[in-house]
Structure 1
Amino acid sequence: MKVHNYKTKNNIEQAEDTTCGTCRKITLNGIGLLSGAQLKYIAFISMLIDHTNKTLLYPYLDGGIISAVSDVFDVLGRIAFPIFIYMLVEGYFHTRNKWRYLGMLLIFGVISEIPYDMFSSGVFFEWNANNIMFTLAMVLAMIWIIDVLRKKMEKLPKAVWFIATIPIVAIVCLISMNLAVDYDYHAILIGYFLYIFHEKSAIAIPFCYLAMFKEPWALLGFGLTLTYNGKRGRQNKLVNYLFYPVHMLILGIIRMCLGL
């Protein structure tokens, strides 16, 4: 996922010069502790745990120690998605080239599809399920359309623009369900709320959580987004994009070799 280096006037406050040198002011956008790179690597680890659980542990659940470990992995695995989609929305506001950003998501969506099918279904092609890169591309396209509409309607009352966004979100939700993309309409709604409440993450979280209510432990991931300090951090763009298909390819090969 793409993250850019920036600061905004409403972003997270830096450490204050007080008697407590480590104190930070908590705002509606959280408390700045972790960079985009640090959050992203936490999400990568969470995703790897989740996918390993589904590929290698689920087939052997027996109510014993494996089930207990799997339960822990289920909790840890819910951290990843909220962070990734949060970073996607942040990236939208600060990328220099939105077309390139969207194109990269679509390209790696195509690259990731066979590894995704191998990992999730144990086959090379599964037309009834599509990977998260396509989901993120849909979210990016949706908020882009809504943002352009906002600029064109800036002279009108904001409520008019807000009402106009509702059918757009509904249409994209329907498309996501028909294309069977990962997280389908849940992701679309979460991306919308993160856009609407941009720079007010603490307000966005309850709405995002309701949109993902079937995954209660996702709250851990949404909570971690409040620690974002607005800095990109040291990261490798190619690694960011390749991690998703490569780790699924490895897990998919293991699954198919073991006949799971």
Structure 2
Amino acid sequence: MHGTHTLPVGPVRDGALDLLKWLALLSMVLDHLRYVGLSLDGLYVPGRLAFPWFCLAIAANLHRVRYAPVTGHWRYLGWLLLFSVISEVPYRMFIEDADTLNVLPTLALGLLVARGWQQKALVDRGLALIAATMAAVFSQHLMFGFFGVLLPLALLLVFRRPWYFSVLPGLVCVAANQWQILLNSGTLVALLGLATCLSAPLAGLVLLRHGKNAKPPAMRRWAYALYPMHFLLLLLVRKLIA
């Protein structure tokens, strides 16, 4: 066994990991509240936690089951791909001027890239190469783009490293979040958003390492349905407010 200071997750159900997923979901909902028709631009800042924490959940799951049967990995990918398709219509109904796909294709490609680094089998390496190529070619169509696809791998790479290595996924997260536009705008919200992107991986890793006594509701497969459902619920809120 590795020391507890280097290994943030264990073989049993991890309350800290469930808590991380719930907080990621909450920050995503807060981020999308900006689109219900109220002046809530400040929610952009906590919203920057959602994507890196979902990526960290992927990295944590990969780290946990790295010696588990491969079928579990494929099931994980299958759920992501299925809800990528299911979620696209609700996503476009709510984000009317969306110029990218919903976030799940980015997470699915990121899972393949991270798995290919972790697993040495030829098929895993081949799929990772295909996923990375697709991310590079179709970067402008993916939410968080090419660097968003690399973020689960960047997080997996620092899992057993000292805390200061989290600057690597922090920089990848900044690169995935249109940092030039944020920097050029120079507003307090934009600069706080950049700072949140940079610090989100460290905050998530600290939570995983020290939140083991947390006992939130277990987030199981039904939670995938929360992604398309939250778009429809927020759409309803927007209709009621209008």
Shared fold by TM > 0.5? yes
Q: How does 1:1-260 map to 2 (within 5 A)?
A: 9-10=2-3, 13=4, 27=5, 35-57=16-38, 66=39, 69-71=40-42, 73-95=43-65, 96=68, 97-121=72-96, 128-149=99-120, 171-177=133-139, 180-200=141-161, 202-213=163-174, 214=179, 215-216=193-194, 217-225=196-204, 226-229=206-209, 233=215, 234-255=217-238, 257=239
Give 1:245's aligned amino acid: P
Taking the aligned partners of 2:7 and 2:119, their CA distance within structure 1 comes to 24
Q: Larger helix proportion, structure 1 or 2? A: 2
Relative to structure 1, the CA distance from residue 204 to residue 243 in structure 2 (aligned partners, 3 Å threshold; closer, same or farther) is farther
What's the TM-score once normalised by structure 2's chain length? 0.72
Residue 146 of structure 1: CA displacement?
Answer: 2.6
Relative to structure 1, the CA distance from residue 176 to residue 91 in structure 2 (aligned partners, 3 Å threshold; closer, same or farther) is farther
What's the TM-score once normalised by structure 1's chain length? 0.67
Taking the aligned partners of 1:91 and 1:187, their CA distance within structure 2 comes to 18
Give 1:190's aligned amino acid: L
Relative to structure 1, the CA distance from residue 103 to residue 170 in structure 2 (aligned partners, 3 Å threshold; closer, same or farther) is closer
Taking the aligned partners of 2:75 and 2:162, their CA distance within structure 1 comes to 26
Taking the aligned partners of 2:108 and 2:221, their CA distance within structure 1 comes to 17
Percent of aligned pairs sharing the same letter: 25
Deviations 1:20-79 (A, max 9, x none): xxxxxxx4567999711112211111111100013333xxxxxxxx4xx522x1211112
Taking the aligned partners of 1:138 and 1:44, their CA distance within structure 2 comes to 20
Residue 176 of structure 1: CA displacement?
Answer: 4.4
Taking the aligned partners of 2:102 and 2:76, their CA distance within structure 1 comes to 17
Given that 1:173 and 1:185 are in contact with CA atoms closer than 8 Å, whether structure 2 keeps it comes out as yes
Taking the aligned partners of 1:98 and 1:170, their CA distance within structure 2 comes to 18
Taking the aligned partners of 1:250 and 1:207, their CA distance within structure 2 comes to 36
Structure 2 alignment gaps of length 5 or more = 180-192
Rg comparison, structure with higher value? 1
Relative to structure 1, the CA distance from residue 204 to residue 34 in structure 2 (aligned partners, 3 Å threshold; closer, same or farther) is farther
Give 2:119's aligned amino acid: V
Deviations 1:118-158 (A, max 9, x none): 12116xxx6x5211111111011112223334x67xxxxxx
Give 1:129's aligned amino acid: T
Deviations 1:175-232 (A, max 9, x none): 4415x12112121221221122232272442112212322412234323212203859
Taking the aligned partners of 2:51 and 2:105, their CA distance within structure 1 comes to 14
Residue 98 of structure 1: CA displacement?
Answer: 0.5
Taking the aligned partners of 1:140 and 1:29, their CA distance within structure 2 comes to 20
Residue 258 of structure 1: CA displacement?
Answer: 7.1
Given that 2:139 and 2:145 are in contact with CA atoms closer than 8 Å, whether structure 1 keeps it comes out as yes
Number of equivalent positions: 210
Compute the RMSD of aligned alpha carbons.
3.5
Structure 1 alignment gaps of length 5 or more = 1-7, 14-26, 58-65, 153-160
